[in-house]
Structure 1
Amino acid sequence: DYLKNPKLFGPEGIPIDIVISPEQSVMESIRNLIELPGVLHVSDFADGLVRLFSVKVVAGGFLTGKKIKTLKGRLTEGRIRVVAIFRDGIALPTNGEAMIVADDEVFFFAPRLEVRRLLKDMGCLEKPLKRIIIAGGGHIAKRLAQALEKDHYVKIIERDPKRVKKIANDLGSTIVLQGDCGDETLLLEESIDKTDLFCAITDNDGENIISASLAKAHGARKAICVLNHLYYNKLLPGTGIDLAVLPNVETLGSILKHVRRCDVAQISLLRNGTAEAIEAVAHKGNGENSVVGRKVDTVKLPEGIVLGALIRNNDAISIHHDTVFEEGDHVVMFTLDKSLVPSIEEKFRSLAKAVP
């Protein structure tokens, strides 16, 4: 609610420079997964012009059995790029010779308007998630319901009767039920077997895991749970739960973009925080280390940093070996090795963040 009043913080209000809302970050992460059913991860860059997303490759899709170098014609002339491939949890090189097989998790950068088309081509876009049950009535649940209720059929299950009354008054068409989200009888009464998505976002990780796995066992098509403790992620195999959202990881990216020693517009952490995507801004005031005025193939970024997207004048443009970087370009990069981040900082440092 504080975010609704921008004048509350700043020179004329509370002297806080940067305001971060973990609840908003988590809500947007879940909403993106609902918007693109079938993806395993979605992050927005360049104010939503470009998306980083990952999918599990299905047998029979156009990616299966293909080398990356053979896909250029299907990937819109350099505007859609493969930046990472994971096979059985292990990262593979993403050069042109890399072969994609069924069950690989592949990360793409693509213009926002191309994502849905690409998912359809790959056979990864699932049926819309319209009937949704949210377990828990906290701030994230309320924000998610507000974001979804216009176009989805949403129910919330909340244990606290006072909270039930409060959020019921704040919401429109969302049905708010008072009860235990782990109550098997209640789930059956609310037609869990006809539910497209069960989303467990209480403040108790154990309750989230139990209720989401129970929902899946009784026929919910998909289940997402929020986990505040990263190590609980190891408990999910065998539960039927499709995806976990980690608030600590979602929020950390918002913090890192303010402490990196270069001009950063956005950071997203992936694979439980082990990988990083960075949107940096090019400046020629960075001296000989600057990328401005140089061709892509002359910028010596270490192996392990992959160029994902280039945004110029609010448009995602193709990246080729002879593309020349310009002042103010937003360059989105992907790395699995955080020790390589200083190399990015060196190339994209602005005068304002220069280190004496």
Structure 2
Amino acid sequence: MRVVIVGAGEVGRSIAANLEADHDVIVIDRDERIVEELTYSHDVLTIQGDGTTIETLREADIERADLVIACTDSDESNVVICGAAKTATEGFTIARVRRRTLLETWEGSQGGFDVDFMVCTDLLTAQTIFRISGLPAAQDVDAFIGGLVQMAEFEIDADSPIANQTIRDADRYDSLTFAAVFRDDEMIVATGETIIQPGDYVVVIGSDDSVRNFARDLTCERKNRDEIVIVGASEVGFQAAREFESHGYHPRLIEHDPDRARAAAESLPGTTVLESDATDVEFLEREHVDEANIVIAALGNDEKNLLVSLLARRLGIDRTVAVIENLEYAELFETVGVDVAVNPREETAEEIVRFTRTTRTEKVAMLEHDRAEVIEIEAKLDSDLTGRTIQDSMAELPAGVVIGAISRGGDIVTPRGTTVIEPGDHIVLFVDSNVLDAVIEAI
């Protein structure tokens, strides 16, 4: 596949790094320094120029492009890039935007602006925050098959009920599959004999109810899950509050800027907006923020989000989620005590990358910075999986694959060795990134 990426920020670089091994990738950016850096660090063709102009796009051989990804920092430029590309190619166009209003306008126009797919960074981030917040102890959560199936990653504490047990002993949940264990720098594809150790990160795939039951057993919740505090009425913070509202929650939103606080209060009827500095300890104690189950730091500044998260920890908050712009900070945040760090650009890259997969791949979720992927496919008649038991099918696939869940006619089928996969089944697989291409070719 020939892929043209316009914009070499964190999103563009992440996509380029993911695709360079298997696709012809061309990256366009205005910044000469960034273009030179990419030339030496990635196996891609780089072009310095303005991607909104047809001349620059033609320099990238846009006529031959199968996929055009516009991911500059300007929403308007990304829409223009897609429109310009469509004058010269029939390739699929993707525009990355930050404003939800632009996404809603595009959806209302039934795919207008010559944009085939639009992804809203802030909305994706808010949806990720909501999913993670709903599962205690979860480090990563994603939904598959229209929400029927959940994939979640959990850190195992020393006092966890499954610590020091084998997978076989821990496997006591209906419709739940243990897919993998991440231990330090090692990824272990789960088998019945794998021992779960304290400090491990365990990936499970299963029905929504089974994953929630598993999460509850891992923790002892002392506080009301409905007590949610969001710090910062940034676009991500605003969208997160809106997401919680849409699911029946009544979060509290703390915003220091009076104009922004007023605008949030007018637009979020189900949210209590508090105008104050979130680092004011007396205010936090007076408003009983310490009684919250979770604090979400979304101030639009990494350092401030870290400060708020650490302060929340000091007040005794059980769980903290911080939005980070710099992906390199993720490990630092989690090392010093932030439970989950969510990077908007990584969420966006993950959503876009699925369009470079075979058309059978309906959803992609990346784990541990692309060390593994969880993918959703529909079983076809000519698939190596169809019409065979899982045990026989897995014998034909490379090591590093786990079938996590199957949906048949809207019902969840728990995968077992004797389960026969039928045409039309929706299958969720955990796949080691090292064997991903071989697996996709086989299925």
Q: Do the two structures share a fold, i.e. TM-score over 0.5?
A: yes
* 307 and 223 in structure 1: CA distance in 2 versus 1, 3 angstrom threshold: same
| Unmatched tracts of structure 1, length 5 or more | 349-356
Tell me which residue corresponds to 1:325.
421
| Structure 2 counterparts to residues 201-280 of structure 1, below 5 A | 201-237=298-334, 239-280=336-377
Q: Which moved more, 1:238-247 or 1:53-62?
A: 53-62
Q: Which moved more, 1:163-172 or 1:187-196?
A: 187-196
Contact 2:181/2:187 (<8 A) preserved: yes
**How far apart are the structure 2 equivalents of 1:175 and 1:298?**
55
Cα distance, 1:246 vs structure 2: 1.8
Tell me which residue corresponds to 2:253.
156
Cα distance, 1:312 vs structure 2: 1.5
Task: Provide the aligned length of Structure 1 versus Structure 2.
Answer: 338
Contact 1:136/1:201 (<8 A) preserved: yes
Cα distance, 1:108 vs structure 2: 0.9
CA RMSD of aligned residues (A): 2.4
Contact 2:334/2:340 (<8 A) preserved: no
Contact 1:44/1:52 (<8 A) preserved: yes
Cα distance, 1:14 vs structure 2: 2.3
SS of structure 1 residue aligned to 2:162: coil
Whether 1:47 aligns to 2:146 is yes
Q: Deviations over 1:151-185 (max 9, x none)?
A: 54522222333222211111114222334333445
Find the partner of 1:187 among 265, 284, 290: 284
Cα distance, 1:83 vs structure 2: 0.4
Whether 1:340 aligns to 2:435 is yes
Contact 2:364/2:374 (<8 A) preserved: yes
* 140 and 60 in structure 1: CA distance in 2 versus 1, 3 angstrom threshold: closer
Find the partner of 2:214 among 118, 142, 157: 118
SS of structure 2 residue aligned to 1:66: coil
Between the aligned residues of both structures, percent identity stands at 28
Partner amino acid, structure 1, of 2:108: K
TM-score, normalised by the number of residues in structure 2: 0.70
Tell me which residue corresponds to 1:69.
168
Cα distance, 1:37 vs structure 2: 2.0
**How far apart are the structure 1 equivalents of 2:424 and 2:385?**
11
Find the partner of 2:193 among 72, 93, 97: 97
| Unmatched tracts of structure 2, length 5 or more | 1-100
TM-score, normalised by the number of residues in structure 1: 0.86
Cα distance, 1:49 vs structure 2: 0.5
Cα distance, 1:9 vs structure 2: 3.9
Tell me which residue corresponds to 2:118.
19
**How far apart are the structure 2 equivalents of 1:179 and 1:272?**
36
* 86 and 325 in structure 1: CA distance in 2 versus 1, 3 angstrom threshold: same
SS of structure 2 residue aligned to 1:99: coil
Find the partner of 2:131 among 21, 28, 32: 32
**How far apart are the structure 1 equivalents of 2:309 and 2:423?**
48
Q: Which moved more, 1:143-152 or 1:105-114?
A: 143-152
Q: Deviations over 1:102-135 (max 9, x none)?
A: 3432111111122233334x34363443322211
Q: Deviations over 1:300-353 (max 9, x none)?
A: 111112211111111221222232222222111112x323111222123xxxxx
**How far apart are the structure 1 equivalents of 2:335 and 2:289?**
19
